[in-house]
Amino acid sequence: MSLPIFLIGARGCGKTTVGELLAQGLGYAFRDTDHYLQHSTGKTVAEIVAAEGWEGFRRHESEALSAVTAPETIIATGGGMVLAETNRRFMQERGQVIWLQASATVLAARLAHYPQTSQRPTLTGRSITEEVAEVLDERASLYQQTAHHMIDAMQVPQLIVAQILSALSLAHAS
């Protein structure tokens, strides 16, 4: 299979960590839409949002998705990539979409342990636990609707990668 593999899910679910390991395992390239966006604009997510609002950021995010999509590439997407219907359709039609699913409690704990507040401003102004629960509640149906496969992301990255490879090989066999 040479189609791109898109990793979707909430902030803190492990898209970048798992994506890098998965790319190594498959011999694929790895791209991160947030990293691409920051490199191409020369601004952090917080700076883009401050200058252009969330709508401007989401437009840049869609452009980044298109720019990094290529065969034999693992693509870690921003947590809100699924908010735009065009992005959901783009990923579904061009590759395999994997939802790295984790509970709000686990996500909040990971984000508290590895804070990146300078990169990603708060969406709601609430505590990280409250925000994660609210955002996850709002987006879960979009993640589910977009994904070809849902993977439990509340385990060590190596097991997540093994589950993804199993899901992809089963899908390929059918």
Q: Per the structure, how many domains does the chain have?
A: 1
Domain that holds residue 131: 5-166
2-16: average pLDDT? 94
Query: Is residue 173 situated within a structural domain?
Result: no
DSSP letter for each residue of 90-131: HHHHHSEEEEEE--HHHHHHHHHHS--TTTS--SSSS-HHHH
Structure tokens at 155: 């385990």
**Which helix (H) or strand (E) covers residue 45, if one does?**
helix 45-68
pLDDT above 80 (res 174): no
**Confidence bin at 129 (pLDDT 50/70/90):** confident
Q: Which domain CATH number covers 140?
A: 3.40.50.300
* Distance of alpha carbon 84 from alpha carbon 98, whole angstroms: 17
Query: Is residue 75 situated within a structural domain?
Result: yes
Query: Is residue 16 situated within a structural domain?
Result: yes
Structure tokens at 148: 């070809």
Could you read off the pLDDT of 149-166 as tens digits, one per residue? 999 999 999 999 999 999
**Which helix (H) or strand (E) covers residue 141, if one does?**
helix 128-146
Could you read off the pLDDT of 11-64 as tens digits, one per residue? 889 999 999 999 999 999 999 999 999 999 999 888 999 999 999 999 999 999
Query: Is residue 131 situated within a structural domain?
Result: yes
